[in-house]
Amino acid sequence: MTDQTQALQEQITAAYANKTACRIEGGNSKHFIGNPSAGEQVSTKNHTGIISYDASELVLTARSGTTLKEISAALAVNNQSLPFEPPAFSEHATIGGTIACNLSGPARAYSGAARDFVLGTRIINGKGEVLQFGGQVMKNVAGYDASRLMAGAYGTLGLLLEVSLKILPKAQTEITIKSQQSADAAINIINQLAGKYLPISASCYFDEHLYIRLNSSQQNCEAASQMICQQITAQPIESSAELWQQILEQQHVFFDTDQPVARISLPATSQHIAITGEQLIEWGGALRWLKTDQPIEQLRQTVQALGGHVSAYKNYPADTEYFQPLASGISILHKGLKNAFDPAGILNPGRLYKEL
Amino acid sequence: MSTTNTQQQLINAFSTVLPADAVLYNAEDLHPYECDGLSAFRQIPLMVVLPETVEQVQSIIKTCHQLQVPVIARGAGTGLSGGALPLSTGVLLSLAKFKQILDIDPLARTARVQPGVRNLAISEAVKSHGLYYAPDPSSQIACTIGGNVAENSGGVHCLKYGLTVHNILKLDIVTIDGELHSIGSDALDSPGYDLLALMTGSEGMLGVIVEVTVKLLPIPQQAKVIMASFDDVYKAGNAVASIISAGIIPAGLEMMDKLAIKAAEDFIHANYPLDAEAILLCELDGTEIEVNEMIPLAEKVLRDNGATETRLAKDDIERAKFWQGRKSAFPAVGRMSPDYYCMDGTIPKSELGNVLQQIADLSKEYNLPVANVFHAGDGNMHPLILYDANIEGELERTEEFGAKILEACVQAGGTITGEHGVGVEKIDSMCVQFKSAELSQFHAIKKAFDPDTLLNPGKAVPTLHRCAELGAMHVHDGKLPHPELPRF
């Protein structure tokens, strides 16, 4: 457990003075997400430690270099967990990188995203200033919400020093049920069920089967499972935890491919996208992974017309713009915000968009 | 240019896009807009406009931008921090005519609504689908969704169901150049920065909200409420922590102290125990199975923490009665005193006893009674200071007392405002919570959206000079806050 605030601040301050680009890195487990960013390495790897955690407050504050592994272990002692179920992709994954990428797992559609659980952050902006936003309480409307703004900013607005997160208790029991369905039927079923008060905590569709995870007390899970199994032809599976671990960490056979994989974010009830290529659908229909050789520009147009967006998730040519381009007016607001936090443009330049 | 000239220019420009009755500038027409829910601050605006289309809003804002006239957006005016307080040189942009629910999608569990739709009207409109909109500020019968987004409003169910920011998907906003932008999306995420989070709670300083897409949740099959009485507020505070530690996330967990109990009981006759020092209202919701599992567990935790009595509301009528007392606590306290001043600090739950003691000490020092009502589950306190504005100097003493409570909240690791916003009311307390560099960062964010500072200027974020002058009055430990600033 070490506090590297001073060293990190000195590094960014010097980079600001010299106008040299910084490439912020934690456990380097998410280097494949976003555009490549050149620059001098600024590592948060040794800026570690859980600063405070009180189970009855449901709040944990940790330095950005603390590993997800350490945090999960600390929370497990009190039967609690990070409700957004972040993927790690490596045992070196840090909480800073997780929040910077706003990464959430299978529970996202039901519990919320990483950004929903951010209560406060301490950052270094592009001028080398240490700033604190938000706090360690559930409700806080003092000043603009600069904390949540850091989630998904990929370090382009500030280097995360500390994050405070809302924590929730873990459910006692987990049951997963499986049902053979067409993709369109599965999307309809999972959205119909989400409109009822049921302990659904994740869903997934691949290989003509819909999987629904329930998390609650034993009795509540069993009742919900029976109710759903009566409505649709379905049955519980044996290896629930293993399945969701594979989906969460993308160790599932679907992701083992050399073909380009597009990450498609869509309104959950959108019909199945009829594009040739294997699909895996998560988040109640709102997240669709597609293996396709279709040019990404074409795919982006199709998805944008449906109200969604596409990331060039993996195996795309190196010069592909990773994230869906922004509308021109929104892009101007982005440049304004980048300039407000990082006037010299030194923090992870290009990682999110070439112009930021 | 004189105010009269500016006003005439605005009237000329607005008359080309708005009907005559949507442009108000006579003194008697302007009076109803002089304040919001914080009536201690009043100001007649230069004029009021009441557009009913997005194009009209764009045109109004473009005109104000060209003439460099401030624009203050207003919903129902129920805000408690003066966020919609007019400027004598500014246009008050009322969104009262934007009352349409544009679309309800029961399968996607979303509703697309105009900003002037009332919070409760959304839940009423979707009830037949078994859905509701979760955030429920106590003013939900009157407050509008546009104002809720501007303030990131909460309510009594936030611990389990989140704040406004967790329950909206998409916004249409008009920026000061008159451009219309769509932020967020009907999907679960959007590319780029989280502008949706930034806009939520930005108090009308970054853009004007003209459409909101909200998330809807399934109505729980069952909700039950336990009322627990305590002979000591500390014990009630400990019970709150113990409930959370037991793995229970109540839908609502509210505390009232003796004075608040008396006020509510005299007003509503909810059958509250008048001899208790504090009561907790603990609501549990979910499926019938989980509610029935949790009730005995919660009752046991409450008794183990010294509850002198626990009472389970026997039916929905009694449950509504228990809540009515709590939700009417503000007007109930209003009946006990000519005026009251409501605070909104939030603290870590473990600091509850400590901060309550400080409030009690300050109450003695200022000789002003305080009734405490709070969202105990999330540490959001609403101390109500009782005072009489007709007694000379009493309002000023009350404000000073309030500011000290907020300082105590910040020192306890909390914040000056949990859900009411900063507005004009708590602008000086922002200097206590944030350092100069942080306030400068907020001003830089503002400039990225509104370079000429025309949208709701002077609210929410104090200038560094204001903090420096205030700091000069409050020297702590011989150290001046903001020492880097020039002083005069």
Backbone angles phi, psi at A32, to 5 degrees: -85, -5
**Average pLDDT rounded to a whole number, residues B353-369:** 94
The nearest alpha carbon in chain B to A108 belongs to B188
Would you say residue B333 has pLDDT above 50? yes
CB distance A339 to B189 below 8 Å: no
pLDDT for the residue numbered B2: 66
Per-range mean pLDDT, top range of A94-98, B374-378, B472-476: A94-98
Q: Looking at the complex, does the CB of residue A287 fall below 8 Å from at least one CB of chain B?
A: yes
CA distance B263 to B253: 19
CA distance B162 to B152: 10
Chain A window 27-46: which residues touch B at a Cβ cutoff of 8 Å?
none
Query: How close A299 gets to chain B, by Cα (Å)?
Result: 15
Would you say residue B476 has pLDDT above 60? no
**Chain segment B14-69, per-residue pLDDT in tens:** 999 999 999 999 999 999 999 999 988 999 999 999 999 999 999 999 999 999 99
Higher-confidence residue of B455 and B233: namely B455
> Kind of pairing, strands B101-105 and B71-74?
unpaired
**Average pLDDT rounded to a whole number, residues B338-363:** 91
pLDDT for the residue numbered B477: 44
The torsion of the CA quartet B27, B31, B33, B39, rounded to 10 degrees, works out to 140
Query: How close A191 gets to chain B, by Cα (Å)?
Result: 6
CA distances from B359 to A144, B97, B382 (A): 28, 42, 11
**Chain segment A59-84, per-residue pLDDT in tens:** 999 999 999 999 999 999 999 999 99
- Tell me the percentage of chain A whose pLDDT exceeds 70: 100
CA distance B356 to A283: 43
Q: Which of B136, B181, B189 to mutate to test the interface with A (most CBs of A within 10 A)?
A: B189
- Domains of chain A, earliest start first: 5-169+334-341 (3.30.465.10), 171-314 (3.30.70)
- Which chain A residues are within 8 Å of B218, Cβ to Cβ? 194-198
pLDDT for the residue numbered B1: 53
Q: How confident is the model at residue A297 (pLDDT cuts 50, 70, 90)?
A: very high
- Tell me the percentage of chain B whose pLDDT exceeds 90: 87
CB distance A210 to A203 below 8 Å: yes
**Chain segment B175-227, per-residue pLDDT in tens:** 999 999 999 999 999 999 999 999 999 999 999 999 999 999 999 999 999 99
CB distance A24 to A159 below 8 Å: yes
pLDDT for the residue numbered B315: 93
Q: What is the 3-state secondary structure (H, E, C) of A338-353?
A: HHHHCCCCCECCCCCC
pLDDT for the residue numbered A275: 85
Q: Average pLDDT over chain A, rounded to whole?
A: 97
Side chain identity, residue B344: D
> Kind of pairing, strands A22-25 and A40-43?
parallel
SS3 breakdown of chain B: % helix, strand, coil, rounded to 5? 40, 20, 40
Among A242-246, B203-207, B463-467, the range scoring the smallest mean pLDDT is B463-467
**Chain segment A184-195, per-residue pLDDT in tens:** 999 999 999 999
Would you say residue A217 has pLDDT above 80? yes
pLDDT for the residue numbered A1: 80
Backbone angles phi, psi at B289, to 5 degrees: -60, -50
The torsion of the CA quartet B203, B328, A119, B362, rounded to 10 degrees, works out to 90
**Average pLDDT rounded to a whole number, residues B366-379:** 93
Strand partners, A53: A60
- Which chain B residues are within 8 Å of A199, Cβ to Cβ? 287, 290
**Average pLDDT rounded to a whole number, residues B270-298:** 96
**Average pLDDT rounded to a whole number, residues A271-275:** 87
**Average pLDDT rounded to a whole number, residues A293-307:** 96
Of B109, B415, B419, which has the smallest distance from its Cβ to A195's Cβ?
Answer: B109
CA distance A146 to A118: 10
Of B245, B414, B445, which has the smallest distance from its Cβ to A340's Cβ?
Answer: B445
CB distance A287 to A265 below 8 Å: yes
Q: Give the residue carrying structure tokens 């049920």.
A: A177
**Chain segment A8-33, per-residue pLDDT in tens:** 999 999 999 999 999 999 999 999 99
- Which chain A residues are within 8 Å of B253, Cβ to Cβ? none
Would you say residue B482 has pLDDT above 90? no
Would you say residue B479 has pLDDT above 50? no
Q: Average pLDDT over chain B, rounded to whole?
A: 93
- Which chain A residues are within 8 Å of B175, Cβ to Cβ? 329, 333
Longest dimension (CA), chain B: 70
Q: Looking at the complex, does the CB of residue A253 fall below 8 Å from at least one CB of chain B?
A: no
pLDDT for the residue numbered B328: 86
Of B245, B378, B414, which has the smallest distance from its Cβ to A56's Cβ?
Answer: B245
Sequence length of chain B is 488
Q: Does the model's ipTM exceed the 0.95 cut? A: yes
- Which chain B residues are within 8 Å of A143, Cβ to Cβ? 422, 430, 433-434, 438, 442, 460-461
